[in-house]
Structure 1
């Protein structure tokens, strides 16, 4: 259906073949009433944490108690945890099992959200619920803060090849040094390791020729490894360009038209940069207004004031519904996916946002960000 391979008529035919009608179900039920007792439950096969259709109430209550204890432990951990120490929440697959976990945790949050006093506390409760859901699902969570471990941009295969090249170059240097007459123990030991597994002895008369052949062999290997790196790099570049062409053609054409200038020259001085932005953002400025302000005030006097803004839970639900699931989160690290899943928080968020609007004050969590300085083109920087 996503790829639009079949038309509507073909899809309807496939649905009729895959899903039997009610008459067929009734006939099958009359013919074999014992068959349903012998088949395993779908929920059990998927290992759902909450068995909704099960008749065993004790098993359901036991699983819910386990989830409740995990939720309480996660909320206690995140309630007093600084924002920079919060773990990075992973992107979980949109599967039936994961949705069942989120639906089961949703009503458990009512008690914690009712006791929440402000937006910061509500945010910590929701983040703890997200951590609990990840633990129940089995998703990997880092133990330290989000900024403690960063993934390397160099792939593992390239690191292995570069290590081989470095070792081969070091061995070539020692072979050349031994051929020049250096007989130090470390050099001799390296030469013997280079000829290990062969019948070549360092005391034979044609050792110089053997050393030259070994050096040439290592140089050819280095050339082959370097060509492999260039080939993989070129393939990766083409793959990234094709993928960028599918998502953002304008960005691709810009990258092809002009070369990258990031890091081409010395970076800006830290003290001057801080002083420049501090003069714009931190120091108050007294503006001298002209006569045009009185004209604008007289023209705006007849404008009807806007009605008071009333934030409802439906407004919060609509705003969350239109937001992407896994868009890069803010300082709190909470994705929109969790705000969509934990629907009981919509009423609490609406009330607390209304209070913040009436008081004309928001917590620093919603007003603090990170500024990244992006260098422009050279002619703009000049």
Structure 2
């Protein structure tokens, strides 16, 4: 929807104290049409009065007071706070009052501050739509007040998570209330559980078959043996039942061996895959894991008093070390080395690092994805300042 220069001039004559652009007027007109502020008859009358024909110039002058009254109604309607996506051709992304959004944001931040990391809800992956981006951009300037009062990285992370939670609530995204695991997942794969269940059932059946072959004819044992030979035309009263039992036991034992081999093969493949991936990312860590001895973890726990005494003897008692003449040689060789310039982290550095990160990569313990660090751009300066303080403290 385009608004001509004539409309801008007409609006300037009515409201000389208000500065508008073509885009502003287009957004307001679109809002009026969508919110049904005026019915069809009223809109048609306003169009005729705004664009009079050659024979209606005199009537237009007589209708000026009524037009001013209608203009006041239009101004009251368009003054309703809305969130406008100015970067997406002026499309109205979310018709929410700013005060309601600010209240939702404050409530989410207060809730996040009092919630442990493991109890935080799982944030949903949002669709990259104009509406969702508009809500994120609307909350972005509201975070300045909270971030300026942030004291450390933990509090900054809590504020950002609260803002992400507020966005999810505003757009109606589903949130999982299940507690998140804070450590490395140790769940057994489903396929391995199924195979182990098959092995357990096969071993239990072998035990029943051996009991029946040895002469145990209890009703429960007989019932299980009959179920084992169901559909094979094998009767328990036939003369060669002992041979059939032996064949059935051998078949089950072979299946157990095959299932166990499958588990070992999958385990070895998974180990090789993890080692190859670790070799590409961190060879030192791989070699350490290969050389590390297996610790059973059994045995008595160390005594606390003995542990404190041991480390106190190492760190609390002053010791005079004789380093020898080699320290002076090293010091003289390093005297001409120019010290490295201090690392200065700027907001642009943080923005560039965040830009290259995947949006929905698996988050850390805080549950905050990179998508939110990209959307809440006001946090880049705060993060850069926090990293700068950390690096300065480490050098000192």
With the length of structure 1 as denominator, give the TM-score of the two structures: 0.55
Quick check: 1:339–1:345 contact (8 Å CA) kept in 2? Answer: yes
Counterparts of 1:128-207 in structure 2, within 5 Å, are 128-132=162-166, 141=176, 143-147=178-182, 151-207=185-241
The answer as to 2:271 corresponding to 1:237 is yes
Matched with 1:318 is 349
Distance (whole Å) between structure 2 residues aligned to residue 233 and residue 354 of structure 1:
44
Moved more, 223-232 or 347-356: 347-356
Task: Please give the alpha-carbon distance, in whole angstroms, between the structure 2 residues aligned to 1:55 and 1:194.
Answer: 72
Larger RCO: Structure 1 or Structure 2 (Cα < 8 Å, ≥ 6 residues apart)?
1
1:272 aligns with 2:309: no
- Of residues 242, 267, 283, the one that matches 1:208 is 242
Shift of 1:196: 2.3
- In the TM superposition, what whole-angstrom CA distance separates every residue of 1:243-298 from its partner, at most 9, and x where no partner exists? 3343344555566xx555233x44574343685268748x99475899xxxxxxxx
Write the distance in 1 (CA, Å) between the matches of 2:279 and 2:209.
49
Query: Is the 1:50–1:63 Cα contact (8 Å) retained in structure 2?
Result: no
Which of 75, 83, 88 lines up with 1:53 in the alignment? 88
Pick closer, same or farther for the CA change 1:230–1:284 going to 2, 3 Å: closer
User: Which residue is 2:281 aligned to?
Assistant: 247
- Asked whether the 8 Å contact 2:147–2:379 carries over to 1, the reply is yes
- The question of whether the paired residues in 2 share the 8 Å contact of 1:175 and 1:211 is answered with yes
Query: Contact 1:325–1:335 at 8 Å: present in 2 too?
Result: no
Q: Residues 1-382 of structure 1 correspond to what in structure 2 (within 5 A)? A: 52-53=87-88, 55=90, 57=92, 59-62=93-96, 71-87=105-121, 102-113=136-147, 121-132=155-166, 141=176, 143-147=178-182, 151-252=185-286, 258=290, 260-263=292-295, 265-267=296-298, 269-272=300-303, 276=307, 280=311, 285=316, 287=318, 315=346, 318=349, 321-322=352-353, 325=357, 338-339=372-373, 341-347=375-381
Structure 1, residues 336-360: CA drift from partner, whole Å, max 9, x if none?
76555423234556788999999x9
SS in 1 for 2:245: helix
Any conservation in 2 of the 1:85–1:146 contact (CA below 8 Å)?
no
Q: Distance in 2 between matches of 1:163 and 1:87?
A: 33
Root mean square deviation of aligned Cα:
5.1
1:282-323 deviation line (CA, Å, top 9, x unaligned): x99475899xxxxxxxxxxxxxxxxxxxx99x7455367558
In structure 2, how many angstroms separate the alpha carbons of the residues matched to 1:182 and 1:62? 77
Any idea what SS the aligned residue of 1:270 has? coil
CA distance 1:225–1:182, shift in 2 (3 Å): same
Cα offsets for 1:209-252 (capped at 9, x unmatched): 22122112211211222222233233333333433343344555
> Judging changes above 3 Å, is the alpha-carbon distance between structure 1 residues 131 and 286 closer, same or farther for their aligned structure 2 residues?
farther
Give 5+ residue unaligned stretches, structure 2: 1-82, 322-342
Contact 1:50–1:101 under 8 Å retained in 2: no
Distance verdict in 2 for CA 1:239–1:105, change over 3 Å: same
How far is 1:329 from its partner? 8.1
Distance 1:351 1:199, change over 3 A: closer
